[in-house]
Chain A
Amino acid sequence: MKYKDAFLVEDLFSKDIDQKPTRDGFGTGTVEAGKRDSNVVVLCADLKESTRAEWFEKEFPDRFVEIGVAEQNLATVGSGMAAVGKIPFVASYAAFSPGRNYEQIRTTIALNQQHVVVCGMHAGVSVGPDGATHQMLEDIGLMRMLPGMTVLVPGDAEEAHKAVIAAAAHDGPVYIRFGRTASPVFTTPETPFEIGKALPLWEHDKPRVAIMSTGTLSYQALLAARALASEGIEVSVLHVPTVKPLDTETVVQAAKRAGRVLTLEEHQVMGGFGSAIAECLSERYPVPIRRIGVQDAFGQSGKPEELMEHYGLSATHIADAARSFGALY
């Protein structure tokens, strides 16, 4: 059942649940962070409308920097600004940043230990019609491998807003992943968010499976949990918005209670969130693990919901996987 300390929205399973893209949380979050700290600046590479960077520009025109179509410059100008005391949020599509400018991020932001917040927009297949070139599925893996990099994957626009504010106040380099398509806003302003903390969303004394999820798929996990509960199959759902540093204590506890773990991510299953969980548990508390995600494939054009269905990322697929997995052993 719904975990009360998560303070999720009341009408969690209503068809009319509020839907917003997580990138909206970037827009509102940077405006709020900008009010709190005058050093916050936003840099954008010719995508200010779709990244929502223009919400910040409207509020702080002098602290918005247009970089043009130049993602390598986006990262490196950001690094230079951080070196003299600014807190730059550098925004582009994840396919280009960190996709195009990975070396610049590695050398001038991560190794250089600059407090730059790299914001990868339009991540995952839910980008929809733009197709595989724009559907970044490797960014979590790329970024979590960088020493000292914090990696955040918010679950909805409300949490994205909080993640942006937390990243501004954080010390050191941060990557935040955002999505293009509207998704249910299932958390509330009261829902706790702290970098490095996982959040139980759905709990049971004796779950058959612990579902661990990052990003907007956590809502699909809740839908699946409810469907399974109605059949008498109890699961737990742990939402993990900080992929790095991983909340290993909470992950291990959830794994101990269920004895089986199912991970969810809108990302390649190799190197991403599921891998991070598998790495943690194989050392700390080995249990059988199944990973839901994109299985070593590129995306393609289509409607977001068609693609999520095709790549096995919908609540139905999650419930099926939990059912068969939970029946084993």
Chain B
Amino acid sequence: MSRTDAELRALEEKAEAIRETILDMLVAAGSGHTAGPLGMADIFTALYFDVLIHDPKNPSWEGRDRLLLSNGHIVPVQYATMAHAGYFPIEECLTLRSFGSRLQGHPERDRLPGLETTSGPLGSGLSQASGMAYALRMDGKKNRTYCAMSDGEQQEGNIWEAVMFAGKNRLSNLTAVMDRNNIQIDGMTEDVMPLESLAAKYEAFNWHVLEINGHNISEFIDAVDTAKAIYEKPTLIIAHTIPGKGVPEIEFDYRWHGKPPSKEEAKRFIQQLRSGAGRVPNEYA
């Protein structure tokens, strides 16, 4: 069911607030990844504030949907969204990557309630999500399993083992969301190790594939609803995103994959965010 304009606008505003939190936490941490978290802010907002059946006050509730983050390095977007959703205080975000923090540089299930797994080493989230979906279906449970993953990690062999497994077993309770932002550490994915044609590859393994604009929350929610209606196949949503989205100065720049902004840069970036990427005159930002 489509959301009203007011509902969508509220989600978009939430995503902007989450982007600001991401920049704040990266500045506080002094290290970490900037481009990916900003690029996935719209989708994580839609997941936690619309799509997922979950209870922030009871993170281990059995009836919850499972969301696994496979590319653990973009975890600031997950931490920020979880904090805004009420899993823990937003101030705690500023402890990112510091000694004793529950917010490890890469996510650890055992440290922070609400995380479904530990990730960082790439390529193993989709198979864990497949295992969860398989086991939940064995028990006749209706919970859905979501896996957020990157495009770069499609270069890992483990991904294709999982793609085969989920396709063979027709895991229709599994939805994977790929952050197709075209960058990885050493450059553009198609230069480093070409991935295309991703849709055709997944389809060949018995997956249903949808392609969307990853910054259009409405499109993403519709795609998730479509995935729920697809029987006999897992669904891959290829979300075309802009790395660094919201900060024109760094959008599409792969050099921002793995570094945080300085204090001054973050101030500028937040101003750019608040000005709607330049659409609103700066004096209002």
Contact = CB atoms under 8 A, between A and B. Distances in A.
A85 to B, nearest CB: 7
B171 to A, nearest CB: 11
Contacts of B108: 111-112
B164 A68 contact: yes
A228 interface: no
A223 interface: no
Interface stretch (B39-47, B125-133, B237-245): B125-133
B40 to A, nearest CB: 21
A73 B134 contact: no
A103 interface: yes
Nearest to A106: B121
B230 interface: no
Given A81-B131, A103-B121, A108-B117, A73 B161 contact: yes
Interface in B77-129: 108-110, 116-121, 123-124, 127-129
Contacts of B202: none
Interface residues of B, number: 30
Contacts, number: 99
A111 B106 CA distance: 12
Contacts of B135: 41, 80-81, 84-86
B165 A62 contact: no
A84 B161 contact: no
A83 interface: yes
Contact of B134 (A77, A104, A111, A112): A77
23 contacts: A70-B164, A72-B161, A73-B130, A73-B162, A73-B164, A76-B131, A77-B130, A77-B162, A80-B128, A80-B129, A80-B132, A80-B134, A81-B131, A83-B116, A83-B132, A88-B131, A108-B118, A108-B119, A111-B110, A112-B109, A112-B110, A113-B109, A113-B110
Interface of A: 41, 62-63, 65, 67-68, 70, 72-73, 76-86, 88, 103-104, 107-108, 111-113
